[in-house]
A = this chain, B = another copy of it.
Amino acid sequence: MCIQEIPVEEKIYAENDRIAHDNRHFLKDRGILGVNVMGAPGAGKTSSLLQIIKGLAEQNVYVIEGDIESDIDTQTLLAQGIEAVQINTGGACHLDAPALQLAFPRLSLQQPGFLFIENVGNLVCPAEFEIGEHLKMLICSAAEGSDKPYKYPLAFEKAQVILLNKRDLKPYVGFDDSFFYKGVRALNPDAPIFEVNAKTGEGFLEVVQWFKERLGK
């Protein structure tokens, strides 16, 4: 369900932000870095997470999977021995802070480490809602084309780290590097952009290193 432009909007955002603030402290008190993983449908969010988690083998990692329906991604993670739980939003187009709060008791969250929260596949709505994360990772796919920063600016603007996945598909879709980077940098001068291939694992060494450096900050 997705509604816009209504008078109660500010109140709902304020209540969400209050709970997001609580979530952020809940995680920080346990030494856990919360990462809100955003991206369009099929960008490769779960495949990228699998590669990152493999690289973070010495760290404790927890995952919350947000989907409208199905638990396909959670089953994939559980099959790899990763502590993961599913949130089904039942139609809602993004995760919000109360949904995250309700999921916390379903994970152990006893040891310091990382909590990756994979948001609903959507390049619009997830960027508008704080859920209690410490940083946002945007995953886009080269197959989506190089004009995405121009059309969906908020997600690019708010990300602290950006993955350009399926880099191997660039030649097949005529991906324009210069147009893409120009668009991203106009919105976000600082976030590192890693070009990766989540199917093969190429490019993930640097991503993993970047995450390791974030822990404890």
Known A154-B91, A172-B169; contact A2-B124, beta-carbon cutoff 8 A: yes
Q: How large is the interface on A (under 10, 10 to 19, 20 to 34, 35 or more residues)?
A: 35 or more
Contact of A148 among B42, B91, B151 (CB under 8 A): B42
- Distance of A154 Cα from B94 Cα, bound (Å): 15
Contacts of A123 in B (CB 8 A): 40-41, 121-122
| Smallest beta-carbon distance A162→chain B, Å | 14
Q: A125-B125, A143-B169 are in contact. Are A153 and B8 (CB under 8 A)?
A: no
Asked if A68 meets B151 with Cβ closer than 8 Å, knowing A3-B12, A168-B172, the reply is yes
Any B CB within 8 A of the CB of A206: no
Known: A125-B125, A143-B169. 8 other contacts (CB 8 A): A1-B128, A2-B93, A2-B129, A6-B6, A40-B123, A91-B154, A121-B151, A169-B169
Q: Which residues from chain A sit less than 8 Å from chain B, CB to CB?
A: 1-6, 8-9, 12, 40-42, 67-70, 72, 91-94, 96, 120-125, 128-129, 141, 143-145, 147-148, 150-154, 166, 168-169, 172-174, 199
